[in-house]
Amino acid sequence: MDDPLSPGATFLQAEAERRFPGGATVEARFEIPAPGFSVTVLFGPSGSGKTTVLRLLAGLERVDRGTIQVGGTCWSDAGRRIHLPPQARNLGFLPQAYHLFPHLSVAANLAYGLRGLDAAGRAARVDELLGLLDLEALGHRHPGELSGGQQQRVALGRALARRPRLLLLDEPLSALDRPSQLRLRQELRGLLRRLDLPTVLVTHDRAEALHLGDRLVVLDQGRVCQSGDIQQVFDRPTDPTVARILGVETVVRGRIESIVEGMATITVGSAQILAADPGSLGWNVFVCIRGEDVAVERRGGAGSGSGSTVRNRLPARITALHPEGSLVRVSLDAGFPLESLVTRQACADLSLAEGDPVCAVLKAAAIHLIPHD
């Protein structure tokens, strides 16, 4: 029977820690506001504690301090020595390795774990899952006869077979090659929406997080650094560590010299830039600039923008060029180290080369400021 959840109640509330021998501690500290479809992404570098948090939710690790409550039920409470085992938590868990049974058909893999149902009930649920996952024509095949994406759907179906209230996904695309990952991101997002389940997903891939997530929990060295709406966290990191984890290419110290009509003049290295003043910062700040927000022009090009689209035009010199697929990372000395991401075509059109004098152009509104004590 489903647990009652009063109107306005939080669906998942985690305020817990796992302490390991040697002193390492991983904290699970976040919430999912409501039942129904949402994807909460646990994001951070390797070793930050993402998978441990997922295992705490799954009941595969015991909480050493604090509580985890889901759907009105206490799953873990260290103080009261409550620890529901995984099979009592009504969740679906998809690990990085799909662990499909190679000797069983797709249908038999999906039926595994449905032994509480009679034969007719199992067959009906398997047929339902085959249809939901677009696997109707593949029920008789074995995992070795499937593509990586098809194997993923079978593994996901097995996690869904018992109609869980919460779905946990640990790097669900990591077992696939890069082209398959790119192709299946949108497919997975659409499938999760159809399932209408709260989902917690682990990834260290920024693009994957942005494509799949609604909420973001940023972890570093076992600590939750920031959480909230995914676009808000990506656009407005609250400290320089979070900014770097989220892939902000330029994070440098600066000092606000003056604020006039909502626009701050900031000294960074030997340069001065303009940025929108968010207020209540103090004078010392971290200046955060994403590479995609920095354009590169040949010196002497026409200036552009004013008013609400104030642009900084900084004399700079190219210190390095690094091709990255369809983009080129341009390292600049603009009086401070600055990174730009431009298309290969733009790089070729401008005939950019190491040592070239250029202008770095960026809007004041694209610069994010973080207080620095």
Q: Give residue 363's region: left, alpha or beta (phi > 0; psi -120 to 50).
A: beta
pLDDT at 300 over 90: no
Domains parsed from the chain with CATH numbers: 12-90+164-240 (3.40.50.300), 249-371 (2.40.50.100)
- Tokens coding 283: 């004078």
* pLDDT bucket at 308, cuts 50 / 70 / 90: very low
Count of positions (residues) in the chain: 373
Mean pLDDT of all residues in 39-44: 96
What lies within 8 Å, CB to CB, of 265 at 6+ separation is 256, 257, 258, 259, 272, 273, 274
Residue 97 CB contacts under 8 Å (≥ 6 apart), including other chains: 175
DSSP three-state, residue 350: coil
For the stretch 99-142, pLDDT in tens is: 899 999 999 999 998 888 899 999 999 999 999 888 999 999 99
Paired tokens of 298: 């040949």
**DSSP H/E element including 59:** none
Element (H, E) at 129: helix 119-132
Q: 217, 227 in Cβ contact below 8 A? A: yes
CA dist., res. 194 & res. 198, Å (int): 11
In the predicted structure, residue 280 carries a pLDDT above the cut 80: no
Question: Residue 359: in which H helix or E strand, if any?
Answer: strand 357-363
What is the amino acid identity at position 58? A
- Tell me the average pLDDT across 336-360: 96
Contact call for residues 290 and 366 (beta carbons, < 8 A): yes
Please tell me the distance from the alpha carbon of residue 44 to that of residue 47, in angstroms, as a whole number.
8
**How is residue 138 annotated by DSSP?**
G
pLDDT digits (tens, 9 = 90+) for 22-32: 889 999 999 99
What's the confidence (pLDDT) of residue 1? 38
Average pLDDT score over residue span 172-184 = 76
Would you say 288 and 274 are in contact if contact means Cβ atoms under 8 Å apart?
no
pLDDT in tens, 215-226: 999 999 999 999
Find, among 96, 118, 253, 117, the residue nearest to 174 by Cα. Answer: 96
